[in-house]
Structure 1
Amino acid sequence: VGNLILGKEEFVTRERTSCSRRLGVVAGRWLTVVDTPGWWCDFSAQDTSKLVKREILSSVSLCSPGPHVFLVTVKASSAFSERRRRAVEEHVALLGEKVWSHCIVVFTFADRFEHSGAEKCLERGGKALRWLSDKCSQRFKELLVKIQNLVMENGNRVFEMQENILQATAEEKRRVEERFLGVQVRLRFLQP
């Protein structure tokens, strides 16, 4: 989706565990697009690695002063079960309850030329997908227009992470880096 928005191959499409940020001009406006690592669609947040959860949280800091919009991507070809709905709810909730006013649902298709539209995806998706759409105030059509409208609806205010969540994430990242640095130092001394 980030590559589609920017109109060029900026993000790798293989699985990764860290966030990446790219800038580009789209429709005459500078955009910052941050791609976060995904999670297994049927896994609860409890089953997701600490690293992925930390990256989801720290992704907010890659857009200064904060992101205007979060895109929740859903594969149109996959069944959106109650289990997947709960997984989305839990992972998005890592950012706090206020995040939902900044979310837009985006349906992705394996073949970009063969799609049936958001309304038909919602019809086929059932109760769980309708819940997600409602939670995001049914923002799922005409992406760039929707993004601009959402920014205006929110008074041009960016999403602000709760300070305690940011501090806990930064502290955890610092502890991991210190442990990693300690391992590097020990390894260096162990080598002949």
Structure 2
Amino acid sequence: HKSIESLQKAFINQPEPRLKHVHIPKMRMIMLGFRRSGKSSAGNTILSMVTFISKRTSTCVRRQGEVDGRHVTIVDTPGWWKSLPVADTPELDKEEILLSMSLCPPGPHVLLLTLRVDMSFTAAEKKSVEEHMQLHDERVWAHTIVLFTHGDCLGDVTVEELIESEGEALQWLVEKCGNRYHVLNDENWNDGSQVTELLEKIEKMVAQNRGHYYEIDLKTLKEVKQKRKAVERKAKARAKKQRQMRKMDSTMKGKILVLHKFETI
């Protein structure tokens, strides 16, 4: 168990940025996480407008806006079920998560891994997150921040107290993300400081990464795109065949009807 004091110390004493300061006028973000983890509402809070619809996302959605002197691009991705392994996530969802990178070229500055503060984080959920993050590669962790959503549910409890009380699984995740985390109150859009603070944390992380953003492996991206095109071609061929079958069926029915009328004369 990590104490609250050690968590706060780890957060404050993150490695000194290799660059003194990075201001990102055009910031690119990707939202990742479980289904119903608050990805869409967090995106709306960051952009200060209702632009993401809080419902099941089957394809990636990109939205943009001006935030605190920066042009921000956010890509929302399909979520996965909390405690299910990556093998049980539909292939199309996994492809969408990978293809999200191509919607914010040349790559995202940050991946915001969303967790609700009012839901537990178990060993099964830890395994699920780890497997889904491995859809990318190990480098992705250096560009990830844990974003706790529904911050209003914390009440008088601090996020450090939450992390300590949740135990090893959540502590492992926070450490894996370099002790980077942020709480967002989705119900309080009037508090612009919480978004400003998040943007500053992102810029500090990018400075620690020598100004680099996350770049997906181009070979992987090419393979996913080729696979997606092959699926689309098969779907189109199937749809064309079904239309032809319906047309033939309709023609046959018409001939039978004419023949029936002829026989009754």
Structure-1 residue corresponding to 2:160: 119
User: Hey, what's the Cα distance between the residues in 2 that align with 1:175 and 1:117?
Assistant: 49
Shift, 1:163, TM fit: 2.4
Runs of 4+ with >6 A deviation: none
Structure-1 residue corresponding to 2:87: 46
The question of 1:177 aligning with 2:218 is answered no
Counterpart AA for 1:13: S
Counterpart AA for 2:46: I
Deviations 1:140-168 (A, max 9, x none): 13422211111222222121111232122
Structure-2 residue corresponding to 1:144: 199
User: Hey, what's the Cα distance between the residues in 1 that align with 2:103 and 2:210?
Assistant: 21
Shift, 1:116, TM fit: 3.2
User: Hey, what's the Cα distance between the residues in 1 that align with 2:140 and 2:91?
Assistant: 20
Counterpart AA for 2:225: A
Identity over aligned residues, as a percent? 39
The answer to whether the 8 A contact 1:118-1:140 is kept is no
Please say which of residues 48-57 and 164-173 is displaced more in the overlay. Answer: 164-173
Counterpart AA for 1:185: K
Root-mean-square deviation (CA, aligned residues, Å) is: 1.6
Structure-1 residue corresponding to 2:244: 189
Q: If the length of structure 1 is used for normalisation, what is the TM-score?
A: 0.94
Shift, 1:111, TM fit: 4.3
Aligned length in residues: 192
User: Hey, what's the Cα distance between the residues in 1 that align with 2:166 and 2:153?
Assistant: 19
Counterpart AA for 1:108: T
Please say which of residues 141-150 and 98-107 is displaced more in the overlay. Answer: 141-150
Q: If the length of structure 2 is used for normalisation, what is the TM-score?
A: 0.69
Greater RCO structure (CA 8 Å; 6+ sep): 2
User: Hey, what's the Cα distance between the residues in 2 that align with 1:130 and 1:38?
Assistant: 22
Aligned in 2, Cα 1:102/1:77: closer, same or farther, shift over 3 Å? same
The answer to whether the 8 A contact 2:64-2:74 is kept is yes
Structure-1 residue corresponding to 2:219: 164
Please say which of residues 151-160 and 40-49 is displaced more in the overlay. Answer: 151-160
Aligned in 2, Cα 1:190/1:51: closer, same or farther, shift over 3 Å? same
The answer to whether the 8 A contact 2:145-2:177 is kept is yes
Structure-2 residue corresponding to 1:153: 208
**5+ unaligned residues in a row in structure 1: which ranges?**
none
The answer to whether the 8 A contact 1:109-1:115 is kept is no
**5+ unaligned residues in a row in structure 2: which ranges?**
1-41, 183-196, 248-265
The answer to whether the 8 A contact 2:118-2:154 is kept is no
Counterpart AA for 1:83: A
Shift, 1:21, TM fit: 0.4
Deviations 1:68-90 (A, max 9, x none): 10001111111110110010011
Aligned in 2, Cα 1:186/1:117: closer, same or farther, shift over 3 Å? farther
